[in-house]
Structure 1
């Protein structure tokens, strides 16, 4: 094997992105994928507390307005679908960092708590904390798991009781200062401990130009533009490596995955990934756009619904070959 071919092999393994995702041009009945999605029923129910209600959706009340996506049952179901999507991409792994015998673990922005529940089940010896703005997690959980209502962008108080492993996933459009957050992780992780962030470059692209001038492209331009104008980070994935290194982490490792939107890929695995991606995306188009566009851009609810409908239709169009990049980045605090 030549030096060049060896390098190409390493790059392909690390990035998980083919040079070109081949389109499946043959007719295929996609009902099997719909059946698979409909069978996924593990949704976690919200606590009955006071919340903000707006445009027919429910939002968190603690630190009102700091998180712009809903926290109602429809959104919680979408978050659980996203959990399954991530497991599918990572070959059923909850994390990629080489942690060993973790004793104290925290999941930042835990959402429905599904990742923390799975981790606590897999590591009964660990004390696991799930932290979120919304108390939407279930009460029947593993005995080694507890949930806290807190704002992870506020100052932490964990330095005196540091963690062996800190995990965060899907924080795009919910964090304004990732650099500060990752530095807080560094201060709150034990020497030798690991921090892992899994996140997106929120803007899709196409390898063949089929996304250009579509309703889907307009949707992300408008919605993520509103988030960014409000100070939120919409594409943290490709920036995580530099943020980790700037914070002082060593042994920083990056895995990058190509995630198609829809059933258009020919490859069976990518078709399945794309099915789950489309399901969670369609469930979230309105919820992701409503608060950002109505609060900051003076859109009406009806205008948002039309924009989301256009994005949903394009998601089902097999002639539009959208791809997202998903990043898993982990690093270690030096032993010394």
Structure 2
């Protein structure tokens, strides 16, 4: 099989036009609500800290909560990703897969939706926290596992492995992707969908803002703690290094807030802002800043409040990069 790498730009925006059709209105107010009205054993011995709940299995390896507020936020991100991909769960050219893995499945929505869409497939979702629902399709099962530990799937490999939104939760992406290579069948596909966690703007409107300070403080601390926070733009290189072929890259730019003039971008921005305002700012900051930087809970709340307030200003136009990369394990090559 000849190695082939393709790169498509889909929904990548340059010079996003600001919607200025407002008079004497400097914040989003009711408009944001109009876009988000539709949002509706020892392993269980969870860690409780600063009013939030965290996983206990491999305690401390993942720094975001696993409580109901966080689960609701993850479900909102599931919907956001579906909107970005035009209601598709995946982009890889898979056909009638029989055995599928969803890495770090979270609340399990992707695995459940995939199982409904592919009833012939056995779908396994793994996560550090057993927070998934118990009433699921018969072809789904969930495992408590640490994907950064050594795997034991090589003897029973998968047709397709999926991972999404692992930024700031993985220290060694390259190792994980190599384990995916070893655990997928020859000819099988692996797909990662992930962010660059640092925002940017095309008009320098983020300069000297509490919004930008939040991301520098929080994700700078994640980096100091050894976590990868900008995986999206590095996935293609990791896939090549692991040995995948027919690598395909899709790049997206997602706004934060309803400032874009384009209707679709405005809706995407509303969802991204809604999940952050719901609990995302505090969820992302509390553990890493209090455990690694010795911040107090109150200091984290102040930082989050500043980011939330600046994020509502129409004069600030944040953007985030989001990438989807998939590749195929070569056929006729030894494992």
Normalising by structure 1, we get a TM-score of: 0.93
Task: State the alpha-carbon separation in 2 of the partners of residues 132 and 206 from structure 1.
Answer: 34
Question: How many Å apart are 1:30 and its aligned residue?
Answer: 6.6
Match of 2:116 in 1: 121
Alpha-carbon distance between aligned partners in 1 of 2:307 and 2:113, rounded to the nearest angstrom: 32
Deviation at 1:329, TM superposition (A): 0.3
Q: Secondary structure at the match of 1:166?
A: strand
Unmatched segments (≥5 aa) in structure 1: 1-9, 42-47
Give per-residue Cα distances to partners, 1:252-296, cap 9 Å, x unaligned.
011010100000000000000000010112220001100000000
Specify the alignment match of 1:145 in structure 2.
Answer: 140
Q: Give the alignment partner of residue 301 of structure 2, picking from 301, 305, 309.
A: 305
- Residues 33 and 272, structure 1, Cα contact 8 Å, conserved in 2: no
Aligned to 2:38: 39
Alignment root-mean-square deviation, CA: 1.5
Aligned 1:276-315 pairs, distance under 5 A: 276-282=271-277, 283-315=279-311
In 2, Cα distance between equivalents of 1:212 and 1:15: 27
CA distance in 2, matches of 1:70, 1:264: 30
1:16/1:255 contact within 8 Å kept: no
Deviation at 1:326, TM superposition (A): 0.2
1:269 maps to which of 242, 250, 264? 264
The aligned residue for residue 64 of structure 1 is: 59
C-alpha offsets along residues 289-324 of structure 1, whole Å, 9 cap, x if unaligned? 000000000100000000000011111111100000
Return the offset for 1:32.
Answer: 5.7
Say if 2:282 and 2:304, in contact at 8 Å, map to a contact too.
Answer: yes
Q: What number of residue pairs does the alignment pair up?
A: 320
How far apart are 1:17 and its partner, in Å?
Answer: 1.2
Deviation, 1:15, is 4.3
State the match for 1:88 in structure 2.
Answer: 83
User: Whole-Å Cα distance in 2 between the matches of residues 38 and 294 of structure 1?
Assistant: 33
**Is 1:49–2:44 an aligned residue pair?**
yes
Higher relative contact order (CA 8 A, sep 6+): 2
CA contact (8 A) 2:99 2:122 kept: yes
Q: Distance in 2 between matches of 1:127 and 1:96?
A: 19
Matches within 5 A, 1:1-336: 14-27=9-22, 31=30, 33-41=32-40, 49-282=44-277, 283-336=279-332
Change beyond 3 A, Cα 1:71–1:229: same
* Contact 2:184–2:190 (8 Å) recurs in 1: yes
Does structure 1 retain, via aligned residues, the 8 Å contact 2:255–2:318? yes
State the shift of 1:14 in Å. 2.1
8 Å CA contact retained: 2:82, 2:89 = yes
In 2, the alpha carbon distance for the partners of 1:24 and 1:30 equals: 15
Q: TM-score, normalised by structure 2?
A: 0.93
Q: CA-to-partner distance for each residue in 1:57-107, whole Å, 9 max, x for gaps?
A: 000000000000000000000000000000000000000000001000000
Runs of 4 or more above 6 Å deviation: none
